[in-house]
Structure 1
């Protein structure tokens, strides 16, 4: 099935709360099924960050279904978001391998005022971990592993927190957001949405995650036979909330694993626009 579509805007979501809304358009970029856009409104967003644009991509699994023939389309889709910052959510290398220098050199063409930040996924192990770290270092990607960085505009700022191996809760089960101030606007970047439910992530205002692939095959946009999350389909895709009410945006990602197929779960890049409420 082709991942190339005409660029026809369609509404695929409604305002889920008074503070958030999601829309998507079919993508004209080969290898990207859609560009999904969210608006997140919060009184904690500083005035100077009203309209701040976050591009988010995850689960490349390069080369899987997302291969060298589709890489150019992925880059162009990310460029088209006209983002202020690019965030990468992990799982960069496919099970059969993939040239990480090629992937990250291509992603480096997505120029944003605040650069590119990333976390690792569960596929970054052994040789893959080393290759990804090396490619990130060569291309200027800032890897956040249980670290927080400050994004400034004049005297105002928001905080970006990245989580190290969210599957190892014995080592990483204490969220770095606990040491942050409740009044600051904090974006958490984490590979799996389960982490946002497994741990106390207080002071987080928005979490961005991947890992689920939207199930790759889904029925009625709600159910999938795949089990990428221990919470079943609760955090399958889209804008969800953990038990604390913290919003989590979960992307379908770009690549595939296990089976090289997608059905009713288009590959996607995400654009998040922050608005002051």
Structure 2
């Protein structure tokens, strides 16, 4: 798929501006022509069926000749597709949405009844081109006035320097109980060739330092206690663990010295970690927060339809799911990568309210 190819080129050392323009133009025309052809095919099949079922054939109907009305309709769909892609590239990638969830737990400490947290994921700062638009997203995050803020990985595409122009933006994020973060697969610099291994290690260390500059407490296979009115919940974070994307995280280490009956929230970038380890982990983890998928930045979530091509890689790719009283939320991502736009899957700011079951 072309979008994946574009991501691969961008991940291998930055995308040349002219290649980006050419590849996006090709993508727009290719998809629009595909839509045009599909609608023509539908019309051809319909005419063929009418030709076969001669009893229903209208007088003077020639099934070998396409209806000009149907061709016009297919052309309209072609134009709408082009317009949709242009919108996604010019506006959709910064069209931040706040999505709210309320989750009920029977083991939530009473003091945390009504506790709120804001989650964003997949900033990919190296893809940003509009600081003013990014600032609107930051303002929207702060407007939620949540008790806790968490970031679930992929601060950059490859190099730690990508976040530098936006430190002043993301360092504005504040919450009463702190700001916490984890690393994503792109943060390790695995998708670009480094002069030496030392340079790669230095890049990762600098990125960790930038998390501190942002005011984020980076959780590297560790946990912290969030205390309120004498009661506690555990917030844990692991290094990236994902099927096919590096299995670095150590869940046991992150939860070392915690108790089975503690209420736990886990930050883990890749949702495949939840399926592989977290949901059946002996010490119950009530809520896991992930990102990574971006909803592939393309799809439809309307009229009861939820579809994106990423579903063929991840069965659950966005939003909230539960299994055995354990919850997973997958954020659709704050930024974008590869395809410089979003269509139907908009950048997300998640707000989760924790509630105690009566």
TM-score range, shorter chain: 0.7 to 0.9
Residue 99 of structure 1 aligns to a residue whose secondary structure is helix
Q: How well do the aligned residues superpose, as a CA RMSD in angstroms?
A: 2.7
CA contact (8 A) 1:146 1:164 kept: yes
Q: 1:63 to 1:72 in 2, by over 3 A?
A: same
Q: Distance in 2 between the 1:152 and 1:136 partners?
A: 23
* Aligned equivalents of 1:52, 1:245: Cα separation in 2: 19
What SS does the corresponding residue of 1:71 show, helix, strand or coil? helix
Question: 1:177–1:203: 8 Å Cα contact kept in structure 2?
Answer: no
> 5 Å matches for 1:195-214?
195-199=273-277, 200-201=280-281, 202-214=283-295
Deviations 1:189-243 (A, max 9, x none): 110111011114341000000000012112465332247xxx734221011235x
Aligned counterpart, 1:181? 259
| TM-score normalised over the length of structure 1 | 0.80
CA distance in 2, matches of 1:171, 1:89: 13
Q: Which structure has more strand as a fraction of its residues? A: 1
Is the 1:148–1:159 contact (alpha carbons within 8 Å) kept by the matching residues of 2? yes
Aligned to 1:8: none
Q: State the structure with more CA Rg.
A: 2
The structure 1 residue matched to 2:297, chosen from 193, 216, 225, is 216
Correspondence list, 1:79-118, <5 A:
79-94=142-157, 99-118=162-181
Cα pair distance change 1:94/1:169, threshold 3 Å: closer
- TM-superposed deviation, 1:71: 1.7
1:152 aligns with 227
Q: Give ranges in structure 1 of 5+ residues lacking alignment.
A: 6-29
Q: Answer whether contact 1:204 1:246 (CA < 8 A) is retained.
A: yes
Residue 99 of structure 1: CA displacement? 3.5
CA distance in 2: counterparts of 1:105 and 1:136, whole angstroms: 12
Matches within 5 A, 1:217-232: 217-219=298-300, 221-226=305-310, 232=313
Q: Deviations over 1:135-158 (max 9, x none)?
A: 112233211111111000121011
Stretches of 4+ aligned residues off by more than 6 angstroms: 2-5
Q: Is residue 247 of structure 1 aligned with residue 323 of structure 2?
A: no
Question: What is residue 276 of structure 1 aligned with on the other side?
Answer: 356
Unaligned residue ranges in structure 2 (runs of 5+)? 1-86, 190-199
Higher share in helix: 2
